[in-house]
Every structure is written in C-alpha cells, then in structure tokens.
Amino acid sequence: MLLTGRTLSFSGDPAVDASSVKYTENGAVLVSDGHILWTGQAGEEPADLSDGAECHDYGDNLILPGFVDGHVHYPQIGVIASFGTQLLDWLEIYTFPEEARFADRDYAERTAKLFLDLLVANGTTTAAVYCTVHLESAEAFFAESSARNMRMIAGKILMDRNAPQNVRDTAQSGYDNTKSLIEKWHGRGRNLYGVTPRFAPTSTPAQLEACGTLMSEFEDVYLQSHVSENIEEVQWVKELFPGARSYQDVYAQYGMLGSRALYGHAIHMDEADLAQAAETGTKFVHCPTSNLFIGSGLFRMAEICASGVDVMLGSDVGGGTSLSSFATMKAAYEISQFCGYSLTPEEAFWLSTSGGAETLSLGDRIGKLEAGFEADIIVLDLYSTPIIRQRMNQAKSLRDMLFAQMILADDRAVRATYVAGNLVHRAADMEIRSV
C-alpha cells in the first residue's frame, strides 16, 4: 500500500534540534505487513518495493504517525463532562458508581468497543489505559484491543481502601489478578500491561508493596498511577503516609518509580520530587484538559522538562474533556502560557507522536514515519471546518499551519486512521453508536 500526500514526522525533540522536523510537501509512505517499508518523496519509491502496491492519494492532506495518549480511563467515557466537583468528590459522586458497572463483562465489552472506536476516530492509535478494579474490565479491553491489533498499554486498577465495596479488591486479589492478566496479555499481539494502582490514598501499604513486587517480578511491564494532582489529595496523602517526605516519595518507598513508571498530573511537586523523578527515569503525563476542568492546577512543563524528566500528554478522560489530541495540545498551550512559556506546535505534535512514544519506551516501534516502524498512521484534513479554511489561507509557514490545527481542529480533521497498516477509520463512514 502506498500513501501519498504531505507527510510529517519527527526524528527527535524539535525544541532541542529544529532540523528534527521532517516535513515533505509531496511525500509518500510505503506500507506492507503492518510495517512501514519506506518513506520519501512521492514518485521516488524503489520499484522493487512498490511494485503492485495499492495507491491511496491523499492530495494536500497531512499524513503523520498516529497520536499517543499517555493517560486515559476507558470506563469513564460515560461520566465525561460531569458538573461541579474537584477530584475527591468527583471520584465519589461520578466515577466510582460508573466504574462499579464494569463488573458486568457485557457492559465492559460494549464500552471498550465504543472507546476504541472513538479513539481511532480521533486519530489516537496508542494509549496507556486504566480499566476498573474488576478483572472483567481488563479482559474486555484487551480482547477488543487484540481484535483490532492495537498497540495498547492497559491494566486493571488496584484499589483496596477508601472506596465503596463494589470497586475494591484486596492486596492479595489485586496482586493475583494483576499477575494472571500480565501472564495472559503482556506481549500478546501488540498488548502491553501496566500495573495500575489508582493512587496512593486508595491502596493500603500492603497493596503498594504488592505493586512494587510485581514491578520487580516483571521487568518490562509498566506501572501507571496518579501523583500530586490536587491540593486536598496531597494533604490526604500526607496524613495517610506520615513517614514519606512527599506524595511521590510514597511510591519511591514501595519501589514504584523507574523508567516504566507513568504518573499522571504531577502538578504540586517540589524540586526534590523533580530530582527524584529525573534520577529514577520516572515519567510524567501532563493532562491539561483535566487539570483545567477539575481545577487541579497548572503543570509547569518548561521547568519540568528542564529538570530532566520525560513528559508526554494525556487526555485523562473522564476528568479530561476530550479524547482528541488537538484539544489536549490546545489546553497544554494555554496552561504553558500561564507558566511563562509558549508551547510550540512542533513540540506539541512531537509530544503527541514520537515524543510520547519515547516516553512510553516505544520510540523504536511507533511514533515515526520511518522504515521498520509499525504502520499506525493518520491522515488529517487541514481544511476541515470553515474557520480553519479561512485561517489556513493566512498560514505562511509549517508552524503557523500546525498551530492553527492544534488550536482549532477536532475529530472532523481526522480523515483516515490506519492501525498496523489496516484502515480502521474513515471520516466518510463515521457512525458510532452509544452503549
């Protein structure tokens, strides 16, 4: 299969090296067996590779690697846009009752299907996904992700206190179920497992210890959780774990930091926290629409990146307000403006593709239009709405063009999504029914 159009990819962080932006006006991507075989100028495809290829000409549309979402809760799509609470009340009032429904395998399956339909309709081809505490919710998710051959990281939540009975496990059952899910799904197809304690307040010390044990037993699985999102939450952690220097230090004490550990939010952090994260290789996932919506605070992106911590972007739906990476990039820009820094569109698109893939330790497999990479590819219509068309008339540079997209575009811009070389979404056949 040969895709032609404008192409965009990044060979590295554009904030460090401007020449890492790889943009081609008349580009081509040759795909075979789920992988990219070759990329370059249209018309210059090597004959031996392109012979007999089916050609999809996307004209002036932009072809780029699929978006990567570093933090999202699939069971929360039903409670997205819930009014009037901050984090701890939001969990209690909206989230826990909805998550309780995922003990029902059928509901979990239907929601997983809807979630993945929505994800690819938004151009997201890889995500780090929280399921619920129920084994069934993770089974349903991995089964659906497998059926679509998607590169996904997911895990069952561990939560054994400070939550209603119907969304709790125990230290032992959390460990046992996580272990069996890892053995069944980690590395099966393109699935990867993330050990997923919700956050320190809802796990007993025994459960956190079990998470640390799992991390040492399975070297290459991920760990995902939340840290320092909300002031009240930080205070609560201080009361629950008086022996820890800080919220993040609770996780350090249980062996839960490291290069495979992804922590959402990381807003209320001090210098020692940042140094500890940088030293251990721990990653932060910035979830800007969620931070604004729940009123949690402002993530200091420039300062955190400068401290040597790897960062990526996440939607954090249902705390976040959109599955669209455009919405996430826009909110990241708005928050960076408050923090005395203007996030460039090159940086935002990099974070949402290969930069995010690198933070997930998947930078050698996804996130770039390069030979040998997995063919998770999206095609964006750069003129998807009347106001964008008007704005694009004035766009004089690639930066300008990308910035207009990141501020104004949404899922209507996603014309096609390919997962492992298969066309899984086309704007024309968009019909997604609710659960």
Q: What span, in angstroms and rounded, lies between the C-alpha atoms of 196 and 134?
A: 12
Stated as kind and residue range, the H or E segment containing 152 is: strand 152-155
Q: What span, in angstroms and rounded, lies between the C-alpha atoms of 196 and 215?
A: 11
Q: What span, in angstroms and rounded, lies between the C-alpha atoms of 296 and 167?
A: 24
Q: Which residue is nearest to Zn ion (CB)?
A: 316
With a CB cutoff of 8 Å and minimum separation 6, the contacts of 24 are: 6, 7, 40, 41
- Cα 266 to chain centroid distance, Å, stands at 15
**Per-residue mark of binding to Zn ion, 261-300 (x: CB under 5 A):** ---x------------------------------------
- Cα 405 to chain centroid distance, Å, stands at 19
Q: By C-beta, is 27 or 264 nearer to Zn ion?
A: 264
Burial of 253 (0-12, 13-18, 19+ CB in 10 A): middle
Q: What span, in angstroms and rounded, lies between the C-alpha atoms of 337 and 345?
A: 13
- We find the least distance from the C-beta atom of residue 248 to Zn ion, in angstroms, to be 16
- We find the least distance from the C-beta atom of residue 299 to Zn ion, in angstroms, to be 13
Q: By C-beta, is 212 or 264 nearer to Zn ion?
A: 264
Strands of the sheet containing 414-419, edge to edge, are 35-41, 21-32, 2-10, 55-65, 377-380, 414-419, 422-426
Q: In the chain, what's the furthest Cα-to-Cα distance?
A: 67
- We find the least distance from the C-beta atom of residue 46 to Zn ion, in angstroms, to be 45
Q: By C-beta, is 61 or 230 nearer to Zn ion?
A: 230
Q: By C-beta, is 193 or 403 nearer to Zn ion?
A: 193
- We find the least distance from the C-beta atom of residue 11 to Zn ion, in angstroms, to be 31
**Per-residue mark of binding to Zn ion, 214-253 (x: CB under 5 A):** ----------------------------------------
Instruction: Please tell me the count of residues contacting Zn ion according to CB under 5 A.
Output: 2
Q: What span, in angstroms and rounded, lies between the C-alpha atoms of 355 and 341?
A: 19
Q: What span, in angstroms and rounded, lies between the C-alpha atoms of 402 and 415?
A: 16
* CA end-to-end span of the chain: 34
**Per-residue mark of binding to Zn ion, 364-403 (x: CB under 5 A):** ----------------------------------------
Q: By C-beta, is 316 or 374 nearer to Zn ion?
A: 316
- We find the least distance from the C-beta atom of residue 136 to Zn ion, in angstroms, to be 20
Positive/negative CA dihedral, 299, 302, 308, 313 = positive
Q: By C-beta, is 291 or 405 nearer to Zn ion?
A: 291
Bridge partners of 283, per DSSP, are 262
**Per-residue mark of binding to Zn ion, 299-318 (x: CB under 5 A):** -----------------x--
Positions in 57-96 near Zn ion (CB under 5 A): none
Please tell me what DSSP assigns to residue 341: -
- We find the least distance from the C-beta atom of residue 151 to Zn ion, in angstroms, to be 20
**Per-residue mark of binding to Zn ion, 132-171 (x: CB under 5 A):** ----------------------------------------
Q: By C-beta, is 266 or 388 nearer to Zn ion?
A: 266
**Residue 98 is a binding residue for Zn ion (CB under 5 A):** no
Q: By C-beta, is 260 or 368 nearer to Zn ion?
A: 260
Residues that bind Zn ion (CB under 5 A): 264, 316
